[in-house]
Amino acid sequence: MLTALGIKNYALIEDISLDLTENFSIITGETGAGKSIILGALSLLLGKRADLNAIRDSEKKCVIEGHFLIAEYGLKSLFESNDLDYEDETIIRREILPSGKSRAFVNDSPVKLSNLSTVGNHLIDIHSQHETLSVGSTNYQYRILDIVAQNADISKEYQANFKKFQVLKQEFETLKIQQQKADEAYDYNLFLLTELEEAKLKPGIQEDWESTQNKLSHVEELQERIGTSVNLFEDESIGIITQLREANQNFQKVFQLDSSFKDLSERISSVLIEMEDISQETQNEFEELEVNPVLLEDINSKLENLYNLQKKHHVDNIENLIEIQSELEEKVSLKQNAEAELKKFEKAISEQKSKLESIAKELYKSRKNTTKIIKTSVENMLADLGIEDAQLKIESEFTGEFAARGADHFQWLFSANKGNALQDIKKVASGGELSRITLAIKSLLAQYDNLPTIVFDEIDTGVSGDVANKMGLIMQDMAKSMQVISITHLPQIAAKGEKHFKVFKTTVNQKTQSNIKVLSKEERLQELAEMLGGDKTSDSAMAHAASLLK
C-alpha cells in the first residue's frame, strides 16, 4: 500500500506531500489542474524514463518519493532476486538532476530502472484512460486468464522449457549449417590432414632434426677437431692430462712438507679429475661420429617437407602446424560424426517437445477452465453497470504451435445488445462499454491478484448517473481488500472515497503552480456540489451532495 507520496520541482508542482493511508482515496480537480502530473510522478516511481523538460526549476533537482507498506504481499524473494534491500516499509525515490541525469533508489540503495520497473509492477497498477483499450490486447487477455487460473508456477515451468526447446532448435540449425560447410570442404580438409599426419609432427622435433642435419653435414670437420682435442688431452709426452698428473704428484709431496699448500693441492687434484672426465666424454663422442649420407638425406627430406608445410599454411613453427592439424581433425570429425550428432539433437528436441507439449496442454486446460468464471463474473457485473444484455464469450483452441505464452489460442468475443452477433471485443465495444468491462475485470482480478494498490484514472469516462454510482460501489468494494485511488470527474464516484483530495492551480510570483489538499467535510460538500453542475452555494446542490455522501 502507498502510504505517502512526495513530489518536488516536477512540472507545475513546487512541493506537495500526500498522506494516503486510507484504502479508498479520491482525487478530483478541474481539467488542467494537474491530476495527470500526479500520475506522471507515480509512473516515474514505477521505472518510466524521465524527461528533463519535467523539471519545474531547471537549477534544482526534481525528487519523487513514495513510501510503501508491503509486509503482507510476499515480495521478499522478488527483492532478493533483483539484489535489492527488503524493508517492510519500502521507500522508492527518483531524482532528475538539472544535468538531465536520472537516478533511482530503493531503500536508499541505487538501482537500475529495469529493477525498479520489476518491483513497481508488483506495487501499483496504474490504469489510465487509454488503457481501457488493453482489454482487446492479446497479452492482457492472457494475463487475465493466468491470474484467475493462478498459473504463476506452471507458466514459469513452461517458459523455462520453451526457452530450452528454442535453444536446442537453434543449436540443431547451427550444427546443420556447420555440417553443410564441413561437407563442402571435407575432401580438401581430409587431404590437408593426411599430409600433416604423415609428417608425424611432435613438439620440438624440428629443432632435433635441424641439430642432426647440422651435425651430419659437418661430420668430417667435427672428427678432425675432436680428434685433435683428444690428442692434446692424452699425448704421453705433452698431453694436458699427463702434465696435470705430474703437477698433481708434485703438489702431493709439497703438501706433505708444508700443510699450507693443502688448498692448492686439492684444487689441482680436482682439475685433474674433471679433465680426465672431459677427455673420456670427448673420446666417446669421437667414436660415435661417423659419416651417414643415408640418414642425412632422410633428415633433409623431412625438413624440406616440414618447411613446405609451414609455407603452405603460412606459419613459421611446428607448434602452429600442430594447432592447424587439431583444427582439421575437428572439421573432419564433424563430417564423419555428423549423422550421429544430428540424431542425438533430433532425439533431444523430440523429448523436449513432448515435455513442452504436456506442460502446454496443462496450461491450456487451466486457462480454459477459467473462461466460464470470467464470463459469468464480467456479465453479472456489466448487468449491474447498466449493460443488462451483455454477452462475453471466450473461445479457445489448443493449436500445438509453441509460442512464448503457450500453444493455445483464445479469442474474446463481445456483444452489448441482445440480438447482435458476438464479435472481437476490441472491435465492437464503445468507450463507455470498455470502461465498464475494464472495471469488471479489475474487480475480478483483485480477488486473485494480491496487488497492494490500484490507481484508476477517469475509468468512468462515458458513464454517468446510476451507472457511475454503481462503479463507485464496485471500487468501494475492491478497497476492502486493497488500496484504491480513483481520479474522477464524477461526483457519484467521488462521494464513495474515505479521503478526498482536490488538485487546483494557483499563481505565485507571476508563476502558475499546482497544489493538492485534503478536503474537509464542508469543502467536500462544496466540491461535490460543483461537480454536480450546480451552484455550490444553493441549498439544493448542497443537499444533493450531502445525499451522495450518505
User: What structural domains and CATH numbers belong to the chain?
Assistant: 1-123+451-519 (3.40.50.300), 176-338 (no CATH), 522-550 (no CATH)
Q: Cell numbers of 250, please?
A: 708434485
β-partners of residue 393 are 413
Q: Which residues contact 324 (CB under 8 A, 6 or more apart)?
A: 192, 196, 313, 315
What is the rounded distance in angstroms from the CA atom of residue 203 to the CA atom of residue 321? 10
**What are the helix (H) ranges across 393-459?**
425-428, 431-446
Q: What pLDDT does 536 receive? A: 62
Distances (CA, A) of 517 to 29, 178, 340, 367, 504: 11, 69, 75, 45, 8
Does residue 2 contact residue 452 with C-beta atoms inside 8 Å? Answer: yes
Q: In which residue ranges of the chain is pLDDT below 70? A: 129-133, 182, 216-218, 235-237, 287-289, 291-292, 334, 336, 534-537
pTM exceeds 0.85: no
Q: What pLDDT does 129 receive? A: 61
The SS3 of residue 524 is: helix
* Torsion sign across C-alpha atoms 377, 382, 388, 392: negative
What is the rounded distance in angstroms from the CA atom of residue 2 to the CA atom of residue 21? 7
Instruction: Give the number of C-alpha atoms closer than 13 A to the C-alpha of residue 512, restricted to the C-beta side.
Output: 7
Length of the chain as a residue count: 550
Instruction: Show the CA angle centred on residue 441, arms to residues 422 and 501, nearest 5°.
Output: 135
The SS3 of residue 10 is: strand
> 10 Å Cβ neighbour count for 146?
21
Q: What pLDDT does 339 receive? A: 74
Q: What pLDDT does 403 receive? A: 94
What is the rounded distance in angstroms from the CA atom of residue 364 to the CA atom of residue 370? 10
The SS3 of residue 17 is: strand
Q: What pLDDT does 422 receive? A: 93
What is the rounded distance in angstroms from the CA atom of residue 138 to the CA atom of residue 112? 29
User: What beta strand segments (E) does 284-419 contain?
Assistant: 391-403, 406-415
